[in-house]
Amino acid sequence: MLIDDGQWQMGWEMNQAATAELAYEAGGAPAEVQTGGVLQNAIPKEGGNTFRGTFHTVFGHENLNGSNQTPELQAVLGEVNRNAYSYNVNPGYGGPIVKDKLWFYGAFLRRDQKDWVAGSKFTGEGTPR
């Protein structure tokens, strides 16, 4: 699946629950590609005669973060960036509509992340400096 010409990022992300296989080409791109670079081809999952599903999730929060920053490092580096939160919810499910003739498969991806950037105007607590 060709998303763009490699000049800029579209913000598109592969839905892992909907992908059966990924194939990459790093050289000798086909004629339909405008420029060189890595080409990704995604083969989607398909339903079948058996109901099956998958669920993948990831969660992170600033209270779960660790740090090895010592007072000496803080004197040199100052503040560091911190993860406020991040999560990824990715279910997928498929099966038969009409056995041996018609199947379905659907997947959903919800992802978000927020980072507190060191030296920014507002701290993680939302109070101005």
Report if residue 23 sits inside a domain: yes
Instruction: Look at the chain and report how many structural domains it folds into.
Output: 1
∠11-20-46 over CA atoms, to 5°? 105
Mean residue pLDDT across the chain: 80
Spell out where the chain has E strands.
Answer: 19-25, 39-44, 52-61, 82-98, 102-107, 110-116
Flag whether pLDDT at 14 surpasses 80: no
Report if residue 40 sits inside a domain: yes
**Residue-level pLDDT at 128:** 43
Expressed as residue numbers, the domain containing 64 is 16-116
Report if residue 129 sits inside a domain: no
Which of the two residues, 88 and 29, has the higher pLDDT score?
Answer: 88
How many helices (H) and strands (E) would you count in the chain? 1, 6
Report if residue 123 sits inside a domain: no
Report if residue 33 sits inside a domain: yes
Average pLDDT, stretch 43-64? 90
Q: What is the band of 2 on the pLDDT scale with cuts at 50, 70, 90?
A: very low
**Residue-level pLDDT at 104:** 94
Task: Record the pTM.
Answer: 0.63
**Residue-level pLDDT at 107:** 93
